[in-house]
Amino acid sequence: MTPTLGLFLASSNAGKLREYRSLVAGDRVAVELLPEFAQISPFEEAAPTFAENAAGKAEHYSRGNDKVVLADDSGIVVPALGGAPGVHSARYAGPSATDADRVRKLLHATALLEGDERKAKFVCVVAVARRGRVFIVASDSVEGTLAKEPRGSGGFGYDPIFFLPQIGMTYAEASQEEKNRLSHRGKAFRRALALLEDPVSMAWTE
C-alpha cells in the first residue's frame, strides 16, 4: 500500500529515524531521511527555544525542493542546572562529542545533586514545512529524574540516564513500544500526525 504522505526527516541521525518510523501508524505515512542532507548548508540552531530551532530547521531544509520536511529540536532540561543542557543538549560536550561523552558530562555536572535536585524534563518540538513555509509546530514533554549511572542499551542520546518513575526504568531500558507511548518525541509527533492526517491540514501538501 502506497503511503498517503511521505515525510523527509531533516537529520542524519539514524537512531532518530528509527524512532520516527516506529511511531508511524500503519501505512498512512512514510518517514525517510532527507536526501543529500549532508550536502545542504547546515542550519545553525542558535535560537534560545526548542520551537524556534525546530521551525527554523524545517523551513531551511524545505527550501529548494518539493518535499514535506519534518524537523525537530529536543533536549533534556535540568532545573537544578538552570535549565541546562536545554537547547544545547546535542552540543553539550562539544560539536564532535559522542552520546557517551554527553552523558558523562551531564553525570559529572549532577554528581552532587540528590533527591528532587535530580529532576529532569525531556522536551521535543516537531515542525513540518514545505517549500520554505512552516505549517505545523507541535510540542510535548515528559518528566523524570536523572539516574546516577547509565542503565540499559536501547535508545540514543541521554536515554540511558533518563529515569521514568512511572515505569521504574530508563528510556534505554524500556521497550521501543513503551518508550513510544511515553516519550516526549512520541507525544509531540502524535500531535503533529493528528494535524497532518486532518483533511484540511493535508490540503497544503497537494
Q: Which residues are catalytic?
A: 73
Measured in degrees and rounded to the nearest 5, phi and psi for residue 109 equal -70, -25
CA angle centred on 95, ends 68 and 129, rounded to 5°: 10
User: How many Å apart are CA 10 and CA 31, to the nearest integer?
Assistant: 11
User: How many Å apart are CA 53 and CA 57, to the nearest integer?
Assistant: 6
| DSSP H or E stretch at residue 133 | strand 133-146
- Three cell numbers at 75? 533536549
